[in-house]
Each structure stands twice: as C-alpha cells, then as structure tokens.
C-alpha cells in the first residue's frame, strides 16, 4: 500500500507524475516528517513502474531535501526543505508558465487565475 495516490495521465512522463504526487502529499501533510517513504521496490511494484524510474524519483526527492535516507532504517520524509526561497521560486517557474498559458488558452483573466490559486492554496493547507 502506498501512502499517496498517483493518477497517471497519459503523455506526461511517469517520473514527473510520481515526483509531483509525492511532493503534493508532503506539502499537504498527507506525509509528515518522520514518516516512512515507500522503498524503490514498493514504489515500482505498487505503481507497476520501471524500478530505475522509481529509483530516480526517490533520488530526486532526496536531493531536494524532501526525503532523508537513514541507513538501517529506510527512507523517511525529511523536515522542511532547505532549498533557498530563490531556488524554490526557480523550480516553480515552469509550472507558473504552464498555468498562465493554460489560463490564456481558456480566455481567463488574471483575477480568475489568482482566485483559483487561492482556492487550491487553502485546500491543501496542512492540518
């Protein structure tokens, strides 16, 4: 059993979708610091995905400070990421651009976009 869900959409690379789902689970408090994160083996079997990709997912999350590898214990969800605010801002660039493009395609204006952002922000608040 996995502590988070991944709804696979065709087209987007599997790796990105799993990383995104894990980040979402951590940000929303579904996974708390100290929780055990599934092993590469479990990820690969539960999600029916290539073990190399599963490994890449874990390594990415580790390198971003979201997960910590504790030898002998396993991989745990880490404390809040230590990336600088600037670094985090850059990571978000592509997503923001995508959001703006999508919104413009749908002929939405900035007000609608901000409203949508606000709604999701509050919805994902840690409990």
Partner 1 sequence: MEEVIATRNLCRAFGRRPVVQEVTLSVPEGSVFALIGPNGAGKTTTIKTLVNILEPSSGEANVLGTPSTKLGPSQFQKIGYVSENQELPEWMTVAELLAYCKPMYPTWDDAFCELLLRQLDLRPEQRIRSLSRGMKLKAALLSSLAYHPRLLILDEPFAGLDALIREELIRGMLELTGQDRWTVLMSSHEIDEVERLADWIGILNKGRLELCESVTSLQARFRQIDVRVSDNGDSPSSLPVSWLLAEKSAQRLQFVETQYHAQKTEESIRRIFPTLQQVLATPMSLKSIFLALARTYRLSA
Residues that bind partner 1 (CB under 8 A): 8, 10-15, 40-41, 44-45, 47-54, 101, 105
| CA–CA separation, 50 and 63 (whole Å) | 20
Helix (H, G, I), strand (E, B) or coil at 87: helix
**CA separation for the pair 26, 45 (Å, rounded):** 21
Query: Measured from the CB of residue 97, what is the shortest distance to partner 1 in angstroms?
Result: 10
User: Number of helices and strands (H, E) in the chain?
Assistant: 5, 2
Which residue, 41 or 88, is less far from partner 1 as judged by CB? 41
CB of 88 to partner 1, least distance (A): 22
Smaller CB separation from partner 1, 9 or 120 = 9
Q: Which is nearer to partner 1, 73 or 80 (CB)?
A: 73
Beta carbon of residue 49, minimum distance to partner 1 (angstroms, whole number): 5
Backbone φ and ψ of 36, nearest 5°: -75, 130
């Amino acid at each position: 059993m996995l502590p988070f869900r991944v709804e696979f959409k065709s087209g987007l690379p599997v790796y990105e979708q799993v990383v995104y789902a894990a980040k979402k689970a951590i940000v929303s408090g579904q996974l708390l610091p100290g929780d055990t994160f599934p092993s590469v083996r479990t990820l690969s079997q539960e999600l029916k995905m290539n073990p190399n990709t599963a490994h890449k997912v874990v390594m990415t999350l580790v390198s971003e400070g979201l997960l910590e590898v504790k030898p002998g214990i396993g991989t745990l969800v880490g404390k809040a990421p230590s990336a600088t605010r600037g670094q985090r801002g850059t990571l978000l660039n592509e997503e923001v651009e995508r959001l703006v493009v999508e919104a413009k395609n749908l002929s939405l204006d900035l007000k609608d976009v901000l409203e949508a952002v606000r709604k999701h922000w509050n919805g994902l608040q840690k409990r």
